Amino acid sequence: MSNDLLSKGLSLVRGWFEPPPEKVLERIRDELRECADLIGGEVSARQRAAKLAKTYAELDENGRRAFLRILLTEFGPEPERIDAAYDAYRAARGSDEQWQAEAALRESLRSPRSRILTQFSASDAGVHFLVDLRAELLDFLRDDPLLAALDLELQGLLASWFDVALLELQRITWHSPADVLERLMQYEAVHEIESWQDLKNRLDSDRRCYAFFHPRMPSVPLIFVEVALTEGLAGDVQQLLDVSAPLFATERADTAIFYSISNTQKGLRGISFGHFLLKRVIDDLRRDFPKLERFATLSPIPGLVRWYRAHPEALADAFTASDWRRLRAAGAPEGMELLQRLLETPEIAGTEAWREALAAPLLRAAARYLLATENGRALDPVARFHLGNGARIERLNWLADTSPKGWRQSWAIMVNYRYEPDKLQDRIDAYERDGLIEATSAVRRLAR
Amino acid sequence: MSNDLLSKGLSLVRGWFEPPPEKVLERIRDELRECADLIGGEVSARQRAAKLAKTYAELDENGRRAFLRILLTEFGPEPERIDAAYDAYRAARGSDEQWQAEAALRESLRSPRSRILTQFSASDAGVHFLVDLRAELLDFLRDDPLLAALDLELQGLLASWFDVALLELQRITWHSPADVLERLMQYEAVHEIESWQDLKNRLDSDRRCYAFFHPRMPSVPLIFVEVALTEGLAGDVQQLLDVSAPLFATERADTAIFYSISNTQKGLRGISFGHFLLKRVIDDLRRDFPKLERFATLSPIPGLVRWYRAHPEALADAFTASDWRRLRAAGAPEGMELLQRLLETPEIAGTEAWREALAAPLLRAAARYLLATENGRALDPVARFHLGNGARIERLNWLADTSPKGWRQSWAIMVNYRYEPDKLQDRIDAYERDGLIEATSAVRRLAR
Amino acid sequence: MSNDLLSKGLSLVRGWFEPPPEKVLERIRDELRECADLIGGEVSARQRAAKLAKTYAELDENGRRAFLRILLTEFGPEPERIDAAYDAYRAARGSDEQWQAEAALRESLRSPRSRILTQFSASDAGVHFLVDLRAELLDFLRDDPLLAALDLELQGLLASWFDVALLELQRITWHSPADVLERLMQYEAVHEIESWQDLKNRLDSDRRCYAFFHPRMPSVPLIFVEVALTEGLAGDVQQLLDVSAPLFATERADTAIFYSISNTQKGLRGISFGHFLLKRVIDDLRRDFPKLERFATLSPIPGLVRWYRAHPEALADAFTASDWRRLRAAGAPEGMELLQRLLETPEIAGTEAWREALAAPLLRAAARYLLATENGRALDPVARFHLGNGARIERLNWLADTSPKGWRQSWAIMVNYRYEPDKLQDRIDAYERDGLIEATSAVRRLAR
Amino acid sequence: MSNDLLSKGLSLVRGWFEPPPEKVLERIRDELRECADLIGGEVSARQRAAKLAKTYAELDENGRRAFLRILLTEFGPEPERIDAAYDAYRAARGSDEQWQAEAALRESLRSPRSRILTQFSASDAGVHFLVDLRAELLDFLRDDPLLAALDLELQGLLASWFDVALLELQRITWHSPADVLERLMQYEAVHEIESWQDLKNRLDSDRRCYAFFHPRMPSVPLIFVEVALTEGLAGDVQQLLDVSAPLFATERADTAIFYSISNTQKGLRGISFGHFLLKRVIDDLRRDFPKLERFATLSPIPGLVRWYRAHPEALADAFTASDWRRLRAAGAPEGMELLQRLLETPEIAGTEAWREALAAPLLRAAARYLLATENGRALDPVARFHLGNGARIERLNWLADTSPKGWRQSWAIMVNYRYEPDKLQDRIDAYERDGLIEATSAVRRLAR
């Protein structure tokens, strides 16, 4: 591209960041160019990529933004080549040459920047670097939407690298490497792990933990799931996380509860492993515990309170006359005042006197929220994930997560999604095609 | 695409193959469509891909050709979408939207067929199936050049999957798995392995063997190199392969001879690992044997006789008056008659009486051939590989491979390419940029 | 001990072997003494043991016999110390000091030779050396019974080292290390493995092979068992070993046939792993193939013909009048002439015309032999092994092993021993305590 | 043995422990008898041993003591058999039968109790159980010296099982299994590990940690050593343990400091691995860091203050007139008063004003203590260990361990023992044979 355009490209972002001195920009350009050129065999090109990774690592934020801008705007495919390839493609349309011309057009769009990114893979921190780079890029996107085009290219590369066929399922136990366990502690997103002792409890003989690993990031669990073996459906996360609870005798287990699923790499956003993980884990559990009859999650409802905040009238609608009667008896405030407080300080639902009276209307509100759809999709992100994998909404649980976070996001309500291996496919089809949400009649009744 | 075009697509190949019955074609189409649709979540889509792989495996050759044709011609990107994306790209050129439009154009070229191919990866025989598919596709290409476009797409996919960063270097020993060793025997392309005993000899303590493996094809060496530890530069492959030769005391070794490098997967043609393998192996050997001073190959010259067949005058030119004198004395035929016999039945160079007299002119011919370039590249394919990796032509060896194949391709002459770790980069640059071939003065003198 | 006794010790064997020169004997003595002395810390003592192992390896047979003699006779415990310890023990009998005195007496019997043997363990070839040493010692025993005392000491040491708790069960497949597989071929004692192809067939998906390994001999299977998965009880070993037989679909398997069990290390004679191996293998197979209903061997009867050779009258007794009639009709020789030929050239039982007529009397003879006991133990060594492990005699099979060896040892008859996991214990007790041999009523009927 | 003797055996200990009810004793006896009998094949005998282990685990302390007593007194060898074997041995003395008779006498001393103990090995907690059993037995010994005889037998068994040839050296890193690391924290005996963070620091790239493992206790480090790579000889343990110290650039390292060696299993007391560990670790370090020139410990002197407490006059002797002068100047108490305080509250040596003045006399005292011998052995247990392994006393370090424990046991003085690989053997010989203690001249000068 012309230098004009570039300086324009950079000037565009001048408003919000101070580009580094021209000398630094030149060094970045030189190194990128060397990488793109592939001069001197791939081995040395990769060495140069390693150097480039080091350069990037040593830049400050402004430097990094400039780096990514330059990569995007100065190392794209040649417009003239694209034009020529497209013209040839148009001309060949309908003839035998069409396919070759299509391939040539695709090739004309392969950019020096994709060559550069590919080479990063062999730097010392290797694959990991690219994953971290994308995590950072996703942050920069907010201020600099131009970079979205670069993100697309990077995501495509990572998606092929992190194809689930390349991942390895591993069971995590207390005998797993400490650095892996340390990462579990760091990444657990659903129910924070507080100490090595807490972690050890979650890896006990009545638990299972599984993770996917990539052969080139052998110590980094990409996604992991924590499972508890129980008798009957667990409806209370406090009990599952209680370090002092006695060990459960697994020979009595008839249910596997997936009580936490965490993605660890922001840089792999949009590349999904979750449903594969669940499928593989269910297979593994069935082999080890042939008596298991039920596979279900105990899941948060992260969007519940937030959604009602935007639709307070729908919350009001969930309270029947008899609900209000019982609340009055319990000394709760009336009408909008109560609703407002439920939306602003959801934890007040836990106030001792009101608890019992609030169970019915709030569970009703939760059931309605979970069963509703928008554009053929469930409203809640976690619901979307599990319904899209073929689960059914099995049961709602009152006072299931009484942590501050639990109150704040969903009045301490949690939900079990159940996986019935034989019915997954039909349910996925019904949900994906027709937006049908599968739920037990108990849940449906609750929603009335 | 329209059915017309398709039937045309198939009719094109009618001349050389009998397409399978319409019923079979329909089944293929249905299964491909199901795969491409991605309905019902990726897990089940992948199951369908496994089914598709099975279908393919059970087809006869005609069926497979039709399968690939259909995949190419009926599962390409939508032309209208490409046109629209290109128009948008042209309009955005020079503006901030250019990059996003470029990404959209690239996206419009992503085809259902690439989605289908990607899914193959999770079938039972997984990755391996795709590699074998491409090997077969390469065979079909000869009669059906149309498929080249499909090959390009497949190669791109495999190249990202088999990125060298994903490969593992392993040492192969007599303690390696039997199925891995069996494959070595099967794939050794340079000096055939005749028996398990022969193989065991090549894995003895005075040898090293290394291979690259892919995590999803753990028993398949993708490329491997056989190394002998010697004192001084080996110039004779018979000796290296002699099963009855005594074990060499490795503490005396100052040289590592790479006497065989074989790629095993035709389906990975064009995706190169060789130079990485050599680099990694040299690093490994230096660590284990700090006294090693020299790393060199003992390589065939596969194009030598063939090239002189096309340039007999150049061969004549390699014979000096004194060469002819000595040949006469040895009772050899004169002039063109001798040359013709050398080109037609190269093994006559080994006729006892003439051997000594032929050494000088044939080594001269070999040296000239190796030092010559065409379009800045060496003439010999093996030479191109090693020079492109930074090696230098170290020495030519007379009577170095007296097997029938050795005689036929290069009058039993072999060459040592030497790798000097510190000088690789400069040599690669000189060769790649300026077509300069590095050789010892002894080799240069030979060529005069 | 006194030199007199030693020279006597050596002279005793003068008859049959020529002791090495005095100089060599002195070197052996010196090195043994150094080893026994433990001067200078254990590390260096072990180095000296390694030297001693080398010395032994370089001796010829006479030298080795002398070495072992010296080790036995000159490095025993001190008689005076034993006497003193015994006297103290007698005196302490019945008092509190008894136990300490017993320990001291035991200690007084620990010999320098046992210290020396223990140290061998850390020589390069380590444990393996000791195992081989004992194998050789067992050979020497035949001419030199004196060495039996040394053998006892060595067996005790090896028994503690090779305690089954230290062994690892591994499944052997075509993916196992080649050196391990090579050893299987070498050691298979029941049905010779003829080639790598034959071996590969035995490791196919309708077969299983398991072996025990010791952590310090990781490439050496100590004992291994070959298993075929079948539908119904296999009664014919030819079929099992047929390389060209089609692969059996294991999902139909209801029976696991153990068709070969081989100990590989003569030097571990008397240290038994076989029953542990079977138990562990049955556990493993039940987990992998829950549908298996039957675990049985297909075993040779190695002592059958040999035993009847010593008891020809018992063989005569197995022929009924109708047997003789049928044999006459088949043109067989009469009476003793036939019996003699059956005992001298057992393969004549396979002569086509007589085959059918011989089946009944020879199966009767086999059944009687297998059901007979001597001193509460079965007559046949293989029978003793399986009955001692709780198996029952399930079925006799005519023409089951028609190899020359099969004819020679048991008129081609083989037997199935069946393992019923729930009944093993009772049967072991019945056999061990009361000499009761468990057999099916079909086998009992045969014996009448 | 007679019941009389047994009841006497138990009565002996009545004084200090209350034996469990007769019913329990009978159950113990029954189970032990079953184990000893070996009825019904070894497999089931081992199952019974597992049951016995469970029984033991469920007993209280009194029950366990009784268990061990019964095992010792009721399951010994038969006295009559010993007598007969001894008589035969005496008779055979000097004849060819002597060796066989010696073996028979040894055999007569093999007790049912040793058969029982051997079988424990295959119980679920296996080998580990026996190791723990002995640890407990060692505790009981203090009140019940009779059990020493049982301990001897158990130690013999464990010594053969834990022969160093069976152990595996493993490097411990932050990638090691968490349960292994947890045990390091638990067992570190020299410098307590305070947290996972502290541990991670000790496994950083400028550190090494190695441990020996037994194949049947794969998560239990039996002994481990912590190593710091430094430039020059480290004389200060605070600095080595400082979590916040910057990472040392290992390419500058010329010295490896072994700053902590810990045995973890009390039950393996008397079975020594330490010197093997050091030897193997030194080999490993030399391979990884060819530039290392010095291998040395930074060791405590655990017996220093304790010894001077028993020899106060020797401490007085270490103070010269000028020492006293300087102390007076520093305001320290005079003569015996100071000495007494140094012996009673050694940490007063760290009182700021006196520190400098105390360095000379206390280092002198330490040097004299370390160089002194008693019966040809060093006085200090740690010194005995390292001198016995061929180390030399290299340097004494003032204020090297200022932890409370450091003050209390050795006035915060530590010592470097240096391992010079080429000289180990000579030094071991000199020390073991002649009681010569090797030390640098600097240390010798200090002692004057």
Cα–Cα distances (Å) from B338 to B312, B345, B354, C403, in that order, read 11, 10, 11, 61
Judge whether residue A12 has pLDDT over 90. no
- Percentage of residues in chain B with pLDDT exceeding 90? 55
CB D50 within 8 A of CB D123: yes
Q: Pick the more confident residue, A3 or C260.
A: C260
Cα gap C89→C95, rounded to integer Å: 10
C165-297 shares its CATH topology with C304-447? yes
CA distance B249 to chain C (A): 18
- Is D93 in contact with C79 (Cβ distance < 8 A)? yes
According to the model, what pLDDT value does residue A1 have? 35
Instruction: Give the active site residues of C.
Output: 299, 386
Which residue(s) pair with B211 in the sheet?
A: B170, B224
| Of D39 and A362, more confident | A362
Residue B431: Cβ-neighbour burial (10 angstroms; 0-12, 13-18, 19+): buried
**Cβ contacts (< 8 Å) between D201 and chain A: which residues?**
none
> What residue segments make up the domains of chain B, in order of their start?
3-76+111-161, 165-297, 304-447
Q: Give the Cα separation of C314 and C215 in Å (integer).
A: 49
Question: What pLDDT does C1 receive?
Answer: 36
Contact criterion met (CB below 8 Å) for B121 and B233? no
How many CB contacts within 8 angstroms connect chain A with chain B?
Answer: 145
pLDDT confidence of A18, banded at 50, 70, 90? confident
pLDDT of residue A100: 93
pLDDT-based confidence at residue C6 (cuts at 50, 70, 90): very low
Q: Which of D114, D123, D299, D410 is catalytic?
A: D299
Pick the CATH number of D3-76+111-161 from 1.20.140.90, 1.20.140.10, 3.90.650.10, 3.90.660.10: 1.20.140.90
Cβ within 8 Å of residue B234, ≥6 positions away: B228, B240, B255, B257, B259, B298, B416
**Chain C CB contacts of D100 below 8 Å:** 146, 148-149
Q: Which of D173, B355, D138 is nearest to D184 (CA)?
A: D173
| CB A364, CB A447: distance < 8 Å | yes
pLDDT at C45: 67
* Least confident window among A35-49, A185-199, D282-296: A35-49
Which chain C residue is nearest to residue B220, measuring alpha carbons? Answer: C175
Residues 331-370 of A with CB under 8 A from B: none
Instruction: Give the residue from chain D lying closest to C144, CA to CA.
Output: D96
The mean per-residue pLDDT over the stretch C18-23 comes to 84
When scoring C14, C37, C78, C166 by the number of chain D Cβ atoms within 10 A, the one with the most, hence best to mutate, is C166
Q: Is A386 a catalytic residue?
A: yes
Check residue C10 and give its pLDDT.
45
Decide which of B169 and D15 is more confident. Answer: B169
All chains having 3 or more CB pairs closer than 8 angstroms to chain D = A, C
Q: For residue range D257-268, list pLDDT tens digits in order.
A: 999 888 899 999
Are C285 and C256 in contact by the 8 Å Cβ rule? The answer is yes
pLDDT in tens, A379-432: 999 999 899 888 999 999 999 999 999 999 999 999 999 999 888 878 888 888
B207-213/B255-263 β-pairing: unpaired
Q: Over 80: is that where the pLDDT of C15 sits?
A: no
When pLDDT is cut at 50, 70 and 90, the band that residue D201 belongs to is confident
The shortest CB-CB distance from C103 to any of D99, D127, D153 is to D153
Whether residues C146 and D99 touch (CB distance < 8 A) is answered with yes
- Between CA A276 and CA A385 the distance in angstroms is 12
The per-residue b/e assignment along D424-446, b for 16 or more CB within 10 angstroms, e otherwise, is: beebbbbbbeeeebbbeeebeeb
Q: Is D170 on the interface with A (CB under 8 A)?
A: no
Taking phi over 0 as left and psi of -120 to 50 as alpha, with beta for the rest, A411 belongs to left
CB B173, CB B149: distance < 8 Å: no
Tell me whether residues B160 and A165 touch, CB distance under 8 A: no
What backbone phi and psi angles, to 5 degrees, belong to A330? -85, 0
Whether the CB-CB separation of D241 and D193 falls below 8 Å is answered with: no
**Residue-level pLDDT at C287:** 84
Alpha-carbon distances, residue A194 vs A58, A201, A407, A412, D141 (angstroms): 33, 11, 19, 20, 43
Provide, rounded to the nearest whole percent, the portion of chain D with pLDDT above 70: 93
- Whether the CB-CB separation of D296 and D418 falls below 8 Å is answered with yes
Query: Could you tell me if B178 lies within 8 Å of chain C, comparing CB atoms?
Result: yes
Given the residues B311, B386, B403, B441, the one annotated as active site: B386
For residue D273, which of D165, D430, D381, D176 has the smallest C-alpha distance? D165
From the list A41, A149, A165, the residue facing B388 with the nearest CB is A41
pLDDT attached to residue C41: 57
pLDDT at C50 over 90: no
Among residues D128, D191, D214, D386, the one annotated as catalytic is D386
The CATH number fitting domain D165-297, selected from 1.50.10.10, 3.90.1150.10, 3.40.50.300, 3.40.630.180: 3.40.630.180
* Cβ–Cβ below 8 Å for B425 and A40: yes
Q: Give C-chain residues touching D389 at CB under 8 angstroms.
A: 41, 43
Asked if the model's pLDDT at residue D17 lies above 90, the reply is no
Cβ atoms of C62 and C18 within 8 Å: the answer is yes
Inter-chain touch C103–D149, beta carbons under 8 Å:
yes
Q: Which parts of D215-330 are beta strand (E)?
A: 223-230, 255-263, 294-297
Which B residues, 69 through 98, put their C-beta within 8 Å of a C-beta on chain A?
72-73, 76-77, 79, 82-83, 86, 89-90, 93-94, 96
For residue A5, is pLDDT > 70?
A: no
A262 is catalytic: no
- Do the Cβ atoms of A75 and A157 come closer than 8 Å? no
pLDDT value at D397 more than 60: yes
Q: pLDDT tens, B112-165?
A: 998 888 877 765 566 888 999 999 999 999 888 899 999 999 998 888 888 877
Which whole-number Å values give the CA distances from D323 to C11, C286, D316, D344, D354, in the listed order? 74, 81, 11, 20, 11
B16 touches chain C (CB under 8 A): no
Instruction: Tell me the pLDDT of chain A averaged across its residues.
Output: 88
If one counts every other C-beta atom within 10 angstroms of the C-beta of residue B239, the result is: 12
Residue-averaged pLDDT of chain D = 88
Residue B2, both tokens? 């329209």
Residue of C nearest to B195 (CA): C196
CB contact under 8 A, D175 and A175: no
Q: Please check whether residue B425 touches A, CB under 8 A.
A: yes
Q: Judge whether D109 and C102 are in contact, CB under 8 Å.
A: yes
Query: For chain D, how many residues are written?
Result: 448
Assign D45 a pLDDT band (cuts: 50, 70, 90).
low
Q: Which residues of B touch A85 (CB under 8 A)?
A: none
Locate tokens 């069990």: which residue? C261
Nearest CA in chain B to A425: B40
Q: Select from C90, C103, C122 the Cβ nearest to the Cβ of D152.
A: C103
Task: Taking residues D41-58, report their average pLDDT.
Answer: 78
- Asked whether the beta carbons of D177 and A177 are under 8 A apart, the reply is yes
Taking only the tens place, the pLDDT of each residue in C335-389 is 889 999 999 999 988 888 888 899 999 999 999 999 999 999 999 999 998 998 8
* Digit-coded pLDDT (tens) for D162-180: 887 778 899 999 999 999 9
C289 vs A363: CA distance, rounded Å: 47
Local confidence band at C124 (pLDDT 50, 70, 90 cut-offs): low
Strand locations in C242-367, DSSP E? 255-263, 294-297
Mark C315-354 as b/e (b = at least 16 C-beta within 10 Å).
beebbeeebbebbeeeebeeeeebbebbeeebbbbeeeeb
CB-based contact D94 C146, cutoff 8 Å = no
Q: What is the pLDDT of residues B388-399, one digit of tens each?
A: 888 999 999 999
**Residue D353 CB burial class (10 angstroms; 0-12, 13-18, ≥19):** exposed
Structure ipTM over 0.90, yes or no: no
CB burial of C127-149 (b: ≥16 within 10 Å; e: otherwise) equals bbbbbbbbebbbebeeebebbeb
**Cβ atoms of residues B313 and B414 within 8 Å:** no
Are B39 and A433 an interchain contact pair (Cβ–Cβ within 8 Å)?
A: yes
Rg (CA), chain B: 27
Give the confidence band of D80 by pLDDT, cuts at 50, 70, 90. Answer: very high
Alpha carbons C299 and C401: distance in angstroms, whole number: 10
pLDDT(A123) > 70: no
Do the strands C223-230 and C255-263 form a parallel or antiparallel pair, or are they unpaired? antiparallel
Strand partners, C415: C299, C396
Q: Does the domain formed by C304-447 have CATH 3.20.20.70?
A: no
List of residues 6+ apart from D244 with CB closer than 8 A:
none
Residue A84 has pLDDT above 90, yes or no: yes
